[in-house]
Amino acid sequence: MPEQKKSHPKYLKMLAKEGKKGNNKLRILQYIFDNQKTSVSKICESLDLSAPTTLNLLSELTNAGWIEKKGAGKSVSGRRPDLIGLVSKSLFVLCIDLELSTLRMGIFDNTLEMQTEIYNCPFSLSINRENMDILFQNVTDFLKSKGISLNQLAGISMTMPGLINSETGENFSYLVSNNNDDESMAAYCSKVFGVPVTIQNDVKAAALAELRCGKASGKQNALIILMDWGLGLGIVMDGKVRRGASGFSGEIGHIPFEDNGELCYCGKHGCLETVASGNALSKMAKAGIASGQNSILNELSNREINKIETSLIINAANKGDLYAIQLLSKIGTNIGKGISTLIQIFNPEVIVLEGRIAAAKQYITIPMLQSINTYCMTQIREKTQITSSDLGETANLMGGAIENIDRMFQILLESRGK
pLDDT band of residue 6 (cuts 50, 70, 90) is very low
- pLDDT of 196 reads 93
The C-alpha atoms of residue 184 and residue 171 are separated, in whole angstroms, by 8
Please count the other Cβ atoms lying within 10 Å of the Cβ belonging to residue 195: 18
The C-alpha atoms of residue 303 and residue 152 are separated, in whole angstroms, by 48
Per-residue pLDDT for 359 more than 90? Answer: no
Mean pLDDT (whole number) for 371-384: 92
**CB 148, CB 107: distance < 8 Å:** yes
Nearest to 412, CA basis, from 110, 46, 10: 10
Give the count of alpha carbons within 13 A of 359, CB side only.
17
Per-residue pLDDT for 417 more than 70? Answer: no
- pLDDT of 3 reads 46
Q: For 59-115, what is each residue's pLDDT tens digit?
A: 999 999 999 998 877 766 667 788 999 999 999 999 999 998 899 999 999 999 999
Per-residue pLDDT for 7 more than 70? Answer: no
User: What amino acid occupies position 59?
Assistant: S
User: What amino acid occupies position 317?
Assistant: A
Burial tier of 291 (Cβ tally within 10 Å: 0-12, 13-18, 19+): exposed
Please count the other Cβ atoms lying within 10 Å of the Cβ belonging to residue 37: 16
Q: For 184-208, what is each residue's pLDDT tens digit?
A: 999 999 999 999 999 999 999 999 9
Per-residue pLDDT for 370 more than 90? Answer: yes
- pLDDT of 185 reads 92
Per-residue pLDDT for 238 more than 90? Answer: yes
Q: For 101-118, what is each residue's pLDDT tens digit?
A: 899 999 999 999 999 999
- pLDDT of 71 reads 82
- pLDDT of 76 reads 61
Mean pLDDT (whole number) for 307-319: 91
- pLDDT of 2 reads 45
Strands 197-201 and 155-160: parallel
pLDDT band of residue 166 (cuts 50, 70, 90) is very high
**CB 308, CB 341: distance < 8 Å:** no
Q: Which domains does the chain have, with CATH numbers?
A: 9-86 (1.10.10.10), 92-205+396-414 (3.30.420.40), 215-389 (3.30.420.40)
Mean pLDDT (whole number) for 331-359: 93
Query: Who's near 70: CB < 8 A, 6+ residues apart?
Result: 37, 83, 84, 85
Measured in whole angstroms, the distance separating CA 210 from the mean position of its chain's CA atoms is 8
Mean pLDDT (whole number) for 265-273: 90
Least confident of 149-153, 293-297, 387-391: 149-153
pLDDT band of residue 267 (cuts 50, 70, 90) is confident
- pLDDT of 181 reads 65
The C-alpha atoms of residue 118 and residue 251 are separated, in whole angstroms, by 28
